[in-house]
Amino acid sequence: MNKYELALVVRANVEEEVRTATVDQVKDLIAKFGGTITDPGTLEKKKLAYEIEKQTEAFYDFIKFEAEAEAPAQIEDRLRIMDNVVRFLIVKDGE
CA distance 52 to 24: 23
Query: What are the Cα distances from residue 50, in Å, to 8, 11, 29, 46?
Result: 16, 14, 28, 12
N- to C-terminal Cα distance for the chain?
Answer: 14
The predicted structure's pLDDT at residue 7: 94
> Percent of the chain beyond pLDDT 90?
82
Check whether 83 has a pLDDT greater than 70: yes
CATH 3.30.70.60 fits 2-92, yes or no: yes
Quick: pLDDT tens for 23-59: 999 999 999 999 999 998 888 999 999 998 889 999 9
